[in-house]
Structures are given as structure tokens and as C-alpha cells.
Chain A
Amino acid sequence: MRSHQNNLLLIEMVIVILFFALSQAVVLQVFTKAQQINQDAQIADHALMRAEDTAETLAAQADTEAALFSLGFSLQDQQYILTDEDGYRLEAGIERLSQPAGILTTVEIRAYQKDHLLFSLPAVQYREATAP
């Protein structure tokens, strides 16, 4: 009788462990996915904050290149690049349109997570030419 009960208990334990392992595999996948979604959102938020900061700094300063360098960008292949340890990269491309009345400076700030484009934020500033 005692031996029969022990066998039942053993079989039950084996089934419980197997089922528990199976369910934990599913639960862990769900937790991992949640963590990944949170991490991606956090990276995109940080990149957006940095891009906004860059755009506002550019709007406040006349010298675009100096402003980018002061924010930590470095010049690589005609692109100003800022790589953050959080896992995103900002690329800024400058385009200038000169006209007799003034200069229109367009800085396109692109944020990447690895090679995936997160967003592109335009920072455009028009400055009238100095008084004649």
C-alpha cells in the first residue's frame, strides 16, 4: 500500500515538473517580450529627447556645426553622428539654402536603433541676412 502511494507520488511529481517546465517556458517568453517592448520604447524615448534637445540648441545658436560639436556629435563622412550607450544613434545632415534675403538652414536629425530608422526630425532655421 505504502509502495503504491509512493509510486503515485513519484509519477505525479514527474508530471508536475514537466508541466511546470512547459508553462515556465511560455511565461518566460511573455516576460522577455514585455521587456523587449519596454526597452525599445525607452530607447525611442531617449532618442526623441536627445533629438529635441539638438533641435532646440540649433534654433538658439547661429553656428550650426559648433552647436552639433558642443552636443557631442562627431563628423564622419559628411554626416554628424552621435552614438549613445543607450543603444541609439543620431545622424544629422546639414543643408543650406542661400538667398539674397537670408539663409535657410535645414538639419535633418535621424534616429536609428541599430540599422532601423526610428524617426526623422527636421530642425529648420531661417535667418535674415545682416542689414545692408
Chain B
Amino acid sequence: MTNLRKTGSEYRVGVGASSVLMVLVVLALAALSLLSLGSARSNAALSDRNRTMTLGYYQAAAQAQQTLAAMDELAQENASVVTDASGWNALFARNGLGNITVGEDAIFSFTLDAGAQRSLVVEGNFTPALFPRLTLTRHELISHSTETDNTLNLLEP
């Protein structure tokens, strides 16, 4: 090392050695601290995204239960009046439940937005004259997000 000078039989620290050492240490610590801060921020962003997605699902699930409650109330009140699927569809549409579709096979379905390009699909058997009137057969979160340009698609020519 150029900053260490041999004087007689002992080595002495020359002028500038401590400055060089300090610069190296400060640079190393600054780099570490910035890396640590970057890592913490990306971790927090991931945590936020996870929370947004989870809350989106639970809000959609809550809305689904409220829709089922409103649907069941109408089904109970009108079970003796309405007999076919088109009648139920019209009744639900009149009562603000236009997203519900009842098929001829006595299966109802509706879809709710769960945020982040996802939908909650609810399906079930609709038997207004029997108990239980509603039997869920599907309660599934599906994603609409497609592969982005950044994705390496090996199947594409």
C-alpha cells in the first residue's frame, strides 16, 4: 500500500490513508442503505397490492351475499306467482338485480367485479318452491388479465 511507509523497522500510516478508507466505507454503507430502502419499498408495494386484491375479493363476495339475500327474498315472495325463467329474469331486472340470469334448467348465475381485472362468478340451483331455494354450485374468482407483451410466449409463432 502506498500510504503505508516503512520507517526503520515499523510501518506508519501515511497522510490520505484514512480518507481513502473512509470513502470506501461510506460508499459501501450508502449502497447498502439504498438497497435496503429499495427492498423495503418494493416489499411495501407488494403488500399493498396483495391487500388491494384480497379486499377486492371480499368486497365482491359480500356483494354476492347481498345479491343472494335480495334474490331469495323475491323468490320467497313470488314463488307462487312466477313460474318460468323469463318471468324470474324480468322480476329480478325490475328490482335492480339485472345482473342475475335464470336459465330454463333452473340454474341462476351472476358475475361481480372483484377489481384488478377479476370477476367473481356465482352460480347455483334455483328452486323457489322448495327448500333451500338457492343452492350454490360455483363461487369462483376468475381473472381476465391476459399475457402482456413482456411475457415470453413460446407457443406463439
Contact = CB atoms under 8 A, between A and B. Distances in A.
Given A8-B15, A12-B15, A37-B44, A131 B54 contact: no
B36 A16 contact: no
Contacts of B33: 27, 30-31, 34
B110 to A, nearest CB: 14
Given A20-B22, A101-B73, A126 B68 contact: yes
Interface string A23-41: 1101100110111011011
Contact of B40 (A13, A35, A106, A132): A35
A124 B44 contact: no
Given A16-B18, A106-B62, A48 B131 contact: no
Interface of A: 5, 8-9, 12-13, 15-16, 19-20, 23-24, 26-27, 30-31, 33-35, 37-38, 40-41, 44-45, 48, 52, 55, 97, 99-102, 104, 106, 119-126, 128, 131-132
Sort chain B's interface into a size bin: 35 or more
Contacts, number: 114
Contact of B72 (A30, A102, A132): A102
Nearest to A9: B15
Contacts of B65: 104, 124-126
A96 to B, nearest CB: 11
Contact of B25 (A20, A35, A48): A20
A45 B47 CA distance: 7
Given A31-B33, A31-B36, A41 B61 contact: no
B66 interface: yes
A16 B33 CA distance: 20
Contact of B54 (A13, A38, A52): A52
Interface in B16-46: 16, 18-19, 22, 25-26, 29-30, 33-34, 36-37, 39-41, 43-44
B59 interface: yes
A121 B61 CA distance: 11
Q: What is the predominant secondary structure among interface residues of chain B facing chain A?
A: helix
B58 A30 contact: no
The winner among B13, B16, B69, B131 for most chain A CB atoms within 10 A is: B69
Contacts of B55: 119-121
A55 B58 contact: yes
B74 to A, nearest CB: 9
A128 B134 contact: yes
B114 interface: no
A34 B41 CA distance: 8
B76 interface: yes
